[in-house]
Chain A
Amino acid sequence: MDTFAALSQGLMVALQPMNLLFAFVGVMLGTAVGVLPGIGPALTVALLLPITFKLDPAGSLIMFAGIYYGGMYGGSTASILLNTPGESSSIVTALEGNKMARAGRGGPALATAAIGSFVAGTIATIGLALVAPTVVDLAISFGPEDYFALMVLAFTTVSAAFGSSVTRGLTSLFIGLALGLIGIDLQSGQARLSFGVPDLLDGVEVTTLAVALFAIGETLSVVAAGARADEIIEPVKGSVFMNKEDWKRSWKPWLRGTFLGFPIGAMPAGGAEIPTFLSYALEKRLCRKPDEFGNGAIEGVAGPEAANNAAAAGVLVPLLTLGLPTSATAAIMLAGFQQYGMNPGPLLFATNPDLVWGLIASLFIANGMLLVLNLPLVGLWVRLLAIPRPWLYGGILVFATLGTLGANPSLVELGMLLVFGLLGYVLRRYDYPIAPVVVGLILGPLAEQQLRRALAISVGDPVVLFQSPVALTLYALSALALFGPLLFYVITGRKAPVGGDED
């Protein structure tokens, strides 16, 4: 088959020693910048892109792929070890990952993230090579009303992750929704809740909020607890690598995460955050030990990390087949491709097959390089946690502010970090869950924009929301997620067993 001939040709090029070296350098640089909280792969690639300009197209593509994957993996590493998510799509990773790291299971958490990313990246890249044209037609047919239905599904399933108290969960969610209102409204150009402060016009940066709530809020909580919190962080308890049970608990979430991430990432307005939320909620439902969720369940790292990586490859589907940059990273990639003389568009596969297959091969190589480079380092990374607490937390704060300043050198941004850090402390102190705040900030504006787009196109007719079969299916799934367990209870008179109602 042509595809495989082209791909193996690309792989041959990518496997040349020189190109492997470029992949290595790219992964190293990408990881170094990507670990900074607030600096996700998009910014990492943008910052490092000039370095790749001077290489030949093959070398630069490979280095570029390495930077991209390195940037993503760096974000996950920081999330797991330091609770400082580097990008919005690794926020979910921090939830369980950091709990694991604190319980001495940072090694397995990092390993499942790396291997899960590799598995998902590989499957998704194969998907990219084989089914891109089919997937893209489907993705394009999604209208604003369908996206709104997807957001509704995300809201309902994620609400399962809110913890025990509905009031507290909703309170956190609404705080997030309220924060999401800040800034210029895209549809009308009006400033909302900005009170004349120009820095607020662009709204609250998701990573700033997440880093503040997670890292700064936690630092404040721990320091306030003083002698009470004599929790000693053991960097390694048990095996530093994944044991047999970890493997058993990880492989299914990897696959499920991949199948959530790839198609949603391929949708022009899908993004990488929603699949991580869905994956987290799904794994929580299906997990045999649901009590572990919130205390460091490996499924909660494996699934979302796979989803996040698959979504990143999914983004390439509309980019390569149609030339649609559907995320910040993709937009920067587009700028990068132009440097190499390729103009992504519907004709790219026809006019520049060597470059396209070269890129896909580079992604494979970079993905593999990441694994080779990072697995041996896991043991070293987790030693970070052996640093005495005063220095560890001092370092976390230095890191958090470094990332925030690097992404946006503004003191107002630092001020926000402080204010939201205090918010995180208060929420923790009075047992309000943290994650829904971030979920509200991410999903609220998306849902609002899609709903208003749908209604504007239909000139205010709400019927449009319930016309498409896709939307109706998604609503049905949401209803199932909400009422499924209840229905099960009513019919059988038994409490729903964990899992089973969502496939």
Chain B
Amino acid sequence: MSDPRPVSTHGPDKARFVIAFALAVLSLVIGWDAWRLSGINSYSAVGPEVFPALIAAGLALLALANAVEAVREGAQDRPRDEIVPMAWVLAGLIGQIVLLAFGAGFALATGWLFAATAKGFGKGPLWGHFLAGAAMCFLIYVVFAKGLQLALPAGPLERLI
């Protein structure tokens, strides 16, 4: 990983503060789980709570270390990320799950994922890609589910064969 050294130092690095905070929360959750586990009577010499406790402690220390570095290294100039293309890709992934949950089947759901991703990368039209993607995924379904017995979710299209 490349490690760009600080260029500007206008106050602390907010993003890393957020990360430090998230680590602290994670540490608390794991610590709470360890505490819960320690209450359960267990027969083993080292119980199930020991490692979670250690990891929680480690995360707490790292939260601190990240916070310290956030101050010491100062704010970083990071190029802005483009929200809209990213939203398309996320919409593709989430849409796939939703479509599968409603029984649309592998081809339609994954066709949507393909179309939305292509759209995110700046290639339209959505409908054309959706049709092409669904056709491609239908073919994949036939090969893998029928030929190789892979258990892929079936929908109205897949039931035709």
Q: Please determine if A and B sit in direct contact within the complex, based on CB atoms under 8 angstroms apart.
A: yes
Residues of A within 8 A of B (CB): 29, 32-33, 36, 47-48, 50, 163-165, 167-168, 170-171, 174-175, 177-178, 181, 185, 187-188, 190, 192-193, 216, 219-220, 223-228, 294, 388-391, 393-395, 397-398, 401-402, 405-406, 409, 411, 414-415, 417-418, 421, 426, 429-433, 444, 448, 451-452, 455-456, 458-460
A415–B96 CA distance with the chains assembled, in angstroms: 10
CB neighbours of A421 from chain B (8 A): 93
A168–B50 CA distance with the chains assembled, in angstroms: 24
**Residue pair B59, A178 in contact (C-beta under 8 Å):** yes
Q: Give which listed residue, A163, A185, A187, A393, contacts B3 with CB less than 8 A.
A: A163
Q: Give which listed residue, B85, B106, B113, contacts A226 with CB less than 8 A.
A: B85
**Residue pair A167, B117 in contact (C-beta under 8 Å):** no
A227–B122 CA distance with the chains assembled, in angstroms: 10
**Residue pair B153, A405 in contact (C-beta under 8 Å):** yes
Taking the closest CB of chain A, its distance from the CB of B116, in whole angstroms, is 8
CB neighbours of B79 from chain A (8 A): 225, 228
The SS class assigned to the B binding surface is helix
Is B74 in contact with chain A by the CB < 8 A criterion? no
Is B140 in contact with chain A by the CB < 8 A criterion? yes
CB neighbours of B153 from chain A (8 A): 405, 409
Also in contact, A431 and B117, with CB within 8 A (given A225-B81, A411-B97): no
**Residue pair A411, B114 in contact (C-beta under 8 Å):** no
Central interface residue in B69, B106, B115, B144, by most chain A CB within 10 Å: B144
A430–B2 CA distance with the chains assembled, in angstroms: 11
Is B86 in contact with chain A by the CB < 8 A criterion? yes
CB neighbours of A406 from chain B (8 A): 144, 150-152
**Binary contact track B42-65/A, C-beta < 8 Å → 1, others 0:** 111111101110010011001001
**Binary contact track B68-105/A, C-beta < 8 Å → 1, others 0:** 01000000001101110110111011101100110000
**Residue pair B55, A178 in contact (C-beta under 8 Å):** yes
Also in contact, A394 and B117, with CB within 8 A (given A402-B144, A406-B152): yes
Q: 5 nearest interchain CB pairs? A: A390-B123, A390-B121, A226-B82, A224-B81, A460-B45
Also in contact, A389 and B92, with CB within 8 A (given A430-B19, A456-B46, A460-B45): no
Also in contact, A431 and B3, with CB within 8 A (given A185-B48, A391-B123, A460-B45): yes
A185–B118 CA distance with the chains assembled, in angstroms: 42
**Residue pair B1, A47 in contact (C-beta under 8 Å):** no
**Residue pair B3, A164 in contact (C-beta under 8 Å):** yes
Central interface residue in B1, B40, B117, B149, by most chain A CB within 10 Å: B1
A411–B113 CA distance with the chains assembled, in angstroms: 15
Taking the closest CB of chain A, its distance from the CB of B142, in whole angstroms, is 13
CB neighbours of A192 from chain B (8 A): 33, 37, 48, 52
CB neighbours of A459 from chain B (8 A): 45
CB neighbours of B45 from chain A (8 A): 452, 455-456, 458-460
**Residue pair B55, A177 in contact (C-beta under 8 Å):** yes
A57–B101 CA distance with the chains assembled, in angstroms: 43
Taking the closest CB of chain B, its distance from the CB of A83, in whole angstroms, is 15
Interface contacts beyond A409-B153, A430-B15, A456-B46: sample of 6 additional A-B pairs, CB < 8 Å, sorted by A: A190-B42, A294-B1, A411-B101, A430-B19, A431-B2, A452-B50
**Residue pair A409, B110 in contact (C-beta under 8 Å):** no
**Residue pair B148, A47 in contact (C-beta under 8 Å):** yes
Size of interface on B: residues with Cβ below 8 Å to A: 72
CB neighbours of B115 from chain A (8 A): 394
Which chain A residue shows the least CB distance to B109? A401
CB neighbours of B88 from chain A (8 A): 223
**Residue pair A163, B152 in contact (C-beta under 8 Å):** no
**Residue pair B1, A431 in contact (C-beta under 8 Å):** yes
A170–B97 CA distance with the chains assembled, in angstroms: 33
Also in contact, A193 and B30, with CB within 8 A (given A216-B93, A455-B45): yes
Which chain A residue shows the least CB distance to B141? A402
Central interface residue in B83, B118, B133, by most chain A CB within 10 Å: B118
CB neighbours of A395 from chain B (8 A): 114
**Residue pair B52, A188 in contact (C-beta under 8 Å):** no
A48–B147 CA distance with the chains assembled, in angstroms: 10
Q: List 18 A-B contacts (CB under 8 A).
A: A33-B144, A33-B148, A47-B149, A170-B65, A174-B59, A178-B59, A188-B43, A190-B42, A193-B52, A220-B89, A220-B90, A223-B82, A223-B86, A223-B88, A394-B117, A397-B93, A414-B97, A415-B97
**Residue pair B23, A171 in contact (C-beta under 8 Å):** yes
Which chain A residue shows the least CB distance to B92? A397
Q: Give which listed residue, A164, A174, A405, A460, contacts B58 with CB less than 8 A.
A: A174
**Residue pair A430, B117 in contact (C-beta under 8 Å):** no
Is B157 in contact with chain A by the CB < 8 A criterion? no
Also in contact, A223 and B23, with CB within 8 A (given A167-B69, A431-B1): no
Is B137 in contact with chain A by the CB < 8 A criterion? yes
A224–B122 CA distance with the chains assembled, in angstroms: 12
Q: Give which listed residue, A164, A181, A390, contacts B118 with CB less than 8 A.
A: A390
Taking the closest CB of chain B, its distance from the CB of A193, in whole angstroms, is 5
Q: Give which listed residue, A168, A171, A187, A432, contacts B44 with CB less than 8 A.
A: A187
